[in-house]
Amino acid sequence: MKDLRFKFLIGIAICLIAFCSIGNAQTPAATADAQMQQWRDAKFGLFLHWGLYSQAAGDWKGKPYKGNEHFMIYEKLSLKEYGSLAKDFNPTSFDAGKWVKAAKQAGMKYIIITSKHHDGFAMFNSHTNDYNIVKQTPFKRDPLKELADSCKAYGMKLGFYYSLGRDWEDPDVATDWPTKGARSNVVDYPNEDAKDFSKYFERKVKPQVKQLLSEYGPVSVIWFDTPERISKPQSEELYAMVKSLQPNCVVNNRVGNGLGDFKVSEQQITDKTDNQPWESCITMSKGWGYNKHDTEWKSPELIVRQLVEVVCKGGNLLLNIGPKGDGTFPPQAIERLKAVGKWMNINSEAIYGTRPWMVAGEQISEVALSSSAIKIDVDNDATSTAILPDIYFAAKGKVIYVFARSWKEPAINIKSISADKFTVVKVTLLGAKTAVKWEQNKNGLNCSVPFVLPDEIPVYVFKVQLK
Ligand code: FHN
């Protein structure tokens, strides 16, 4: 009898396990979509451009150089001349935990770091190419390994930037933009026609990308760049390699040839809402790599305005810092991360996990914002630097988050939430202890609060609960 009962219990257990596993068995497409939704929910990441150019920090032979992180080709340097930076590159102040904590406190959910930029210098211990930080510098440590460990410790997702179509160390990387050879190393390798991308692809790209995906723990994003000369089969092979080694890793569309899981908008914010996964990568200052002469730091208010605009249009913001050659963040970056983090501490529920609402935003003042009113920062950055009051919307279920950007008045009328279209049941102001006085009519939702001034970022969020 006992034996029978035991067999019966085993049968029940097997059925239960089977049922649960069926419940969880997702098709590849379902898991891919879940990955992208998770990536879309994260909204805010830190981009880090760190390499030998950081050591030069804006000067070459005592004079400011041209081209920032591209200065090797702008100053027409040989690999030997540029590579001489390695002997002094010793970022002993590098502390991966400090970087990750600073990003986390700013409300960032993922970090993308340059594993190898156009100069071809690997910021990790590449087994297949000695032109790297462990083999060529007195530092001898692998900062990407240390960063991976810290990301794991602090629950931060990690991704790697990898320059595909430009590599000034490898002899087989030709370029043709804006003109033939314009973005190539023509000092050591002058004959563009003799260059065979496939040799570089097999010799350097594949083994390095494979190593990054095999030896640094979970990788959330591979962020390829400049895919100009890669063939479609090569893009397909690379994309398949990423997915086979790290099925949960997402790939940007700069893997080339129309592939990739999300679109990249560089130094720009799309003018319309886009419900397909996209990310805007924007510099906190003027350039991507550290440059001591770079004084064009965006204000915390402008950074938050851009985060809000990107999120309300359906995108993620990848905000860039160029760490210094000593391994620390520039003080201007640290102070901005802290300021943005204070704003996120109050308002992050309106950012994470939201999706665009039926309209992206509306103007507060009746005055039409003529294009001339929006000063476009032509320096390397096509995002608007104009600080004009306006409203943006994001949605999460029955809640509409209304971002009043650079709003200075005690009352605001939100035309898009009019009584003939929606029934509002509750309105609060995130972070405020004071109640919001509100009234809804056919002209909109009118809200007023005793004016609450946060420290320095006048971007307020009304949480509007709809019926
Ligand atoms: O040339 C690079 C540049 O240095 C930087 O890495 C940006 C980041 O998106 N990508 C290329 C320019 O499109």
- Per-residue model confidence as pLDDT tens digits over 436-458: 999 999 999 999 987 766 657 99
- Would strands 110-116 and 44-48 be described as parallel, antiparallel, or unpaired? parallel
Q: Best substitution site from 68, 114, 262, 266 to test ligand 1's pocket, by max atoms within 8 Å of Cβ?
A: 266
Which pLDDT score, from 0 to 100, does residue 387 have?
83
Classify residue 378 as exposed, middle or buried by CB count within 10 Å of its CB (0-12, 13-18, 19+).
exposed
Tally the domains of the chain: 2
Q: Which atom of ligand 1 is nearest to the CA of 70?
A: 4
Domain endpoint, select from 246, 261, 276: 261
Q: Are 154 and 97 in contact (CB under 8 A)?
A: yes
Nearest to 329 by CA among 165, 98, 112: 98
Structure tokens belonging to residue 399: 């809640």
In angstroms, what is the span from residue 410 Cα to ligand 1's centroid? 42
Task: Convert the pLDDT of each residue in 111-164 to its tens digit.
Answer: 999 999 999 999 999 999 999 999 999 999 999 999 999 999 999 999 999 999
**pLDDT interval class at 38 (50, 70, 90):** very high
119 lines ligand 1 (CB under 6 A): no
**pLDDT interval class at 20 (50, 70, 90):** very low
Same domain, 42 and 173: yes
Nearest CA to ligand 1 atom 3: 288
288 lines ligand 1 (CB under 6 A): yes
Q: Is the pLDDT reported for residue 80 higher than 90?
A: yes
Q: Which atom of ligand 1 is nearest to the CA of 114?
A: 6
How far, in Å, CA of 332 to CA of 307, rounded? 18
- Does residue 248 lie in a domain region? yes
- Does residue 316 lie in a domain region? no
**Which CATH number characterizes residue 126's domain?**
3.20.20.80
Same domain, 228 and 366: no
- Does residue 16 lie in a domain region? no
Same domain, 367 and 237: no
User: Is residue 128 classed as helix, strand or coil in its secondary structure?
Assistant: coil
Same domain, 48 and 175: yes
Same domain, 196 and 76: yes
Residue-number span of the structural domain to which 459 is assigned: 360-466
Which pLDDT score, from 0 to 100, does residue 410 have?
82
Is it true that the peptide bond before 178 is cis, omega within 30 degrees of 0? yes
- Does residue 413 lie in a domain region? yes
In angstroms, what is the span from residue 225 Cα to ligand 1's centroid? 7
Contacts by residues 368-377 (CB-CB < 8 Å, ≥ 24 positions apart): 377/296
Domain endpoint, select from 244, 261, 278: 261
Domain endpoint, select from 224, 243, 261: 261
Same domain, 76 and 216: yes
User: How many CB atoms lie under 10 A from the CB of residue 177?
Assistant: 13
Residue with tokens 């993308």: 112
Which pLDDT score, from 0 to 100, does residue 375 have?
42
- Does residue 340 lie in a domain region? no
In what order do the strands lie in the sheet containing 315-321?
250-251, 221-225, 157-163, 110-116, 44-48, 315-321, 278-283, 263-266
Same domain, 211 and 75: yes
- Does residue 355 lie in a domain region? no
Nearest to 314 by CA among 265, 374, 251: 265
User: How many CB atoms lie under 10 A from the CB of residue 59?
Assistant: 13
In angstroms, what is the span from residue 417 Cα to ligand 1's centroid? 40
Same domain, 56 and 198: yes
69 lines ligand 1 (CB under 6 A): yes
Same domain, 82 and 205: yes
73 lines ligand 1 (CB under 6 A): no
Q: Are 414 and 444 in contact (CB under 8 A)?
A: yes
Task: Convert the pLDDT of each residue in 362-406 to its tens digit.
Answer: 987 654 444 443 444 445 678 887 788 899 999 999 999 999 998
- Does residue 347 lie in a domain region? no
Q: Is the pLDDT reported for residue 298 higher than 80?
A: yes
Q: Is the pLDDT reported for residue 90 higher than 90?
A: yes
225 lines ligand 1 (CB under 6 A): yes
Nearest CA to ligand 1 atom 10: 225
Structure tokens belonging to residue 22: 């069926």
Same domain, 251 and 371: no
- Does residue 425 lie in a domain region? yes
**Which CATH number characterizes residue 370's domain?**
2.60.40.1180
